[in-house]
Chain A
Amino acid sequence: MPSLGYERAGAVTARLEERLTDRLVGEQSVSRRTVLGSLGVAGSAALGLGSTRGSASAGHEDDEDHHGNFGAVDEYRDRDFDPHEFLRAFNTGRNGQDAVPQDVYEEDGRTVREFEFTAVDVPITIAPGVEFSAWAYNGQVPGPTIRAVEGDLIRVRFENFGRHGHTIHPHVKNVNPAMDGIPQNGPGVIDAGEDPFTYEWIAQPAGVHFYHCHSLPLKEHLHRGLYGAIIVDPDPERVRENPADYTNDHPSQITDALVEDMVAEAKTRNHEYDENDAVDEMVMVMNSFDTNFDGGNEVYAANTRAFAYGVGETDGKGNWKPGETKRPIQIDKTRRQRVYLVNATEFDLVNSFHTHSQFFDYYDHGTTLTPTHQTIDTVMQCQAQRGIVELDYSDHQPGLYMFHAHQSEFAELGWMSFFEVV
């Protein structure tokens, strides 16, 4: 099973897209999106990647399971947001997404990481062919992942282009009430057309955190898409000096060996250390969408798009193909895997993360360097809870390993994914 056809597929599709859009330039009746949409199918069909499963009136009699299969039909045609890119996109001020203006500099002996955030109203695609009218930071859901080191100053210049007033409320330890990002304090909500406001937060404590809009009605502002992750890397020097802050162990249990272990762990977590390069890091924000406004979700996902990390097509007998936009997360079994997991699900009390054929260590909120749960295969999080999942696939055979929410309803409504171990 050739599993590395994505780039080739992408290249052919891009070429076809270009050719057709060039040809159609000036034809007002054909919007660029329609052209791109139909090309997505053409491109993958040309490569035999079979994104046509379940498409209209197809007389498909291939080896698909006759009982049918769950999963969203068709591929994603909207390329504005790619969960596969988002998965490993960290904005540190130095490096990050093109769409997120950012900078890093020293100020009064402190590292400042500066970002420009905007709030916009934008339709996003949450299942193939299904659009959701989202409110989004920088036009994407989840919002950009901010990454800083413990003690840095995070500076976010926020401007609102949406219809409603919004804020940014960070889940960090924040000592200035004016920077809490709530309607009742500091600048209050930032209305559309109002002058931009600059939030400043010290990055503390180390861990994986959450930011979101805190305007009212809260449920609506959250579930429409105004949230994202903040990762605060631990500073190994600080760990060496204050080891008790980074473990749940009693100070009497903190030996020199444990401190050295924790410092080493901190280095793997800190993006400014070479040790971090050995770890494959991913951000997964578990989220959900209520498309018909009945207070229940029609779509669940990790990083917005239903089944985006699933397989493109399967016959249910072990034969599978990656889709063009729905495909497993490829991981190198020789590297350690780290998932920054955040729960932004609205309307449901808890969400969960479950790995097949695999156990993991879990660090609740990521604020400790020793695991808060060891050797578990399922962890649950309530809304806004987050943690770090550390996985080791080094002794697994290559192939597909499923992971998903173990609320089976959520899994079948989109929060179902695969790692492809190579």
Chain B
Amino acid sequence: MSDESETDGGVVRETDARPFGLPRWVSLLLPLVLLAVVLGVFVVGSPLPETGGQPLPDVSITHTTIPDDETVVLHATNNGPDSVTISQVLVDEAYWNFEVRGAGGDRTLAPMESARVVLPYHWNPGWDLEAVLVLSDGATFHHAIVAPSETPGLTLDLLWTLALVGLFVGVIPVALGMLWFPAIRSMSDRWLHAILLFAVGVLGFLAVDAGFEALELAEQVPSAFEGTALVVLGVLGSLLLVQSVSAWRQGRAASGDSRASSGLWIAYLVALGIGLHNLAEGLAIGSSFALGRVSLGAFLVVGFMLHNVTEGPAVVAPVARGERPALGHFAALGVLAGAPVILGGWIGSLAYSPTLGAVFLAIGVGAILQVSWEIAGLVREGNGRLASATNMLAFLAGLAVMYVTDLFVAL
């Protein structure tokens, strides 16, 4: 990796860069100015012939919150290119009174604008409701509220509960998993590599699982925000970001920075990837609370613990060789990997939206993919054969263990 000298390091070249004697900044801006002019002509002059056909209104009701037993709140977003006006609201096929909040004081939503439709409705716990927004042109948008139950508001109690849940399903299992460190350290290279591939299996499963979940959520994202594209962007974006950090590290290592070449970096990257994944996990827990959709019984917590304990060895395996890092690093790794569950829980309960959920999940997936790549590199550097029989079986075991433990966590 000593090819650094091939680039010019960002130094401006002195070529004959003064066409027509214009300064450089003018030549940079000129295309933009011309673009603005062309756009202006197009918008004002509308040179295209009238093609006919009205764009159809498109409104999505992303989710519902139920703050108390006499109120239902629909969260609606206008996806269409034109403004829409919510003229009436039906609840179970009856016109009902309502208020629109968050749309600038009226009932009209500009394109991509979101608002809350507040219904004073004395609902029955567990009895489904059908809400319909009727727009000014009579178009209707339906939303089924399945088995309504109250959404807990923001209270210290809730934050504390979520912190506790996060501690039990995130921090503690990862920390427990990290206790395998001495055992991993004493293993032969062959078995260490198997453990590393096991970790890749764990991560691979998480990536697939979270990826599908992100795509599922993307369907609920208002179509104006292009949910699927957002997920792809999230995955690639985080992959490339983490990869660039990694590449930067490799650069440093090549130029003789010993700290940068240690396995600790990789351990931190793994912890970051798992942390991002756990953030999304926390988000799911928090939003389930927010939507009144969860009964986090002991069984679920046990499931999460089993599921997450395997993330511990994945974090510490990269530092199994060489000098044992200071204990502080272990603490930091554990917090980085596990604590985001708490953070995600808080975010999810306070500001749930399918868009946010899909983005966080996608970011987690990207980070995990990069980290898996990194671990594979670690095995190769340790003179191991990536695709040995042991390694393949270990990878498979990682996938299988995650699948089985995932069965305990059907949120």
Contact = CB atoms under 8 A, between A and B. Distances in A.
Interface in A51-109: 53-58, 64-74
A412 B97 contact: no
Interface stretch (B135-143, B241-249, B281-289): B135-143
Contacts of A291: 134, 137-140
Given A130-B134, A131-B137, A292-B140, A67 B120 contact: yes
B88 A73 contact: yes
A129 B84 CA distance: 11
15 contacts: A54-B97, A57-B100, A57-B105, A69-B96, A71-B95, A73-B98, A127-B88, A128-B87, A129-B85, A129-B88, A291-B137, A292-B139, A298-B90, A298-B134, A412-B93
B88 A128 contact: yes
A58 B97 contact: no
Interface string B91-120: 001111111111101110000000000011
- The SS class assigned to the A binding surface is loop
A147 B101 CA distance: 49
A414 interface: yes
A127 B120 contact: no
Contacts of A306: 95
B70 interface: yes
A283 interface: no
Interface string B42-75: 0000000000000000000000000000100000
Nearest to B106: A56
A132 interface: yes
B94 A70 contact: yes
Interface in A89-147: 126-132
A413 interface: yes
Contact of B70 (A56, A68, A129, A409): A68
Interface in B127-148: 134-140
A246 interface: no
A68 B96 contact: yes
Nearest to A67: B122
A79 B39 CA distance: 41
A289 interface: yes
B403 interface: no
B97 to A, nearest CB: 4
Given A298-B90, A409-B93, A413-B93, A68 B138 contact: no
Contacts of A55: 99, 107
A71 B97 contact: yes
A307 interface: yes
Contacts of A128: 87-88
A67 B91 CA distance: 13
B100 A130 contact: no
Contacts of A409: 93-94
Nearest to A294: B140
By CB atoms of chain B within 10 A, which of A53, A56, A57, A292 has the most?
A: A56
A56 B103 contact: yes
B97 A129 contact: no
Contacts of B134: 127, 130, 291, 298
A287 to B, nearest CB: 15
B93 A130 contact: no
Nearest to B97: A54
A298 B140 contact: yes
A367 B58 CA distance: 50
A134 B140 CA distance: 18
Contact of B107 (A68, A129, A298): A129
Interface of B: 70, 85, 87-90, 93-103, 105-107, 119-122, 134-140
A132 B87 contact: no
A297 B112 CA distance: 29
Shortest beta-carbon contacts, A-B, top 4? A291-B138, A129-B87, A68-B120, A412-B94
B97 A289 contact: no
A298 B132 CA distance: 10
Contacts of B90: 298, 413
A129 B133 CA distance: 12
B87 A130 contact: yes
Interface string A2-35: 0000000000000000000000000000000000
Contacts of A414: 95
Interface string A276-306: 0000000000000101100000100000001
A131 B136 contact: yes
A57 B106 CA distance: 7
B95 A412 contact: yes
Contact of A131 (B70, B106, B107, B138): B138
Contacts of B98: 54, 73
A57 B108 CA distance: 12
Contacts of B119: 68
B99 A56 contact: yes
Nearest to B86: A129
Nearest to A68: B120
Contacts of B101: 56-57
A326 B70 CA distance: 26
Contacts of A126: 138
B315 to A, nearest CB: 49
Contacts of A56: 99-101, 103, 105-107
B203 to A, nearest CB: 47
A409 B96 CA distance: 13
B142 to A, nearest CB: 10
A189 to B, nearest CB: 25
Contacts of B102: 57
Contact of B95 (A58, A64, A65, A127): A127
Contacts of B139: 291-292
A66 B70 contact: yes
B92 to A, nearest CB: 8
A54 B140 contact: no
Given A65-B120, A131-B137, 7 more contacts: A66-B70, A72-B95, A126-B138, A130-B137, A131-B136, A298-B140, A409-B94
Contacts of A74: 87
A369 B139 CA distance: 45
B94 A53 contact: no
Contacts of A70: 94-97
A70 B89 CA distance: 10
A81 B95 CA distance: 22
A72 B135 CA distance: 13
A53 B88 CA distance: 12
Contacts of B107: 55-56, 129
B97 A68 contact: yes
Nearest to B85: A129
A105 B68 CA distance: 68
A414 B89 CA distance: 12
Nearest to A66: B70
Contacts of B97: 53-54, 68-71, 73
Interface in A239-294: 289, 291-292
Nearest to B71: A68
Contacts of B85: 129
Given A56-B106, A68-B70, A413 B94 contact: yes
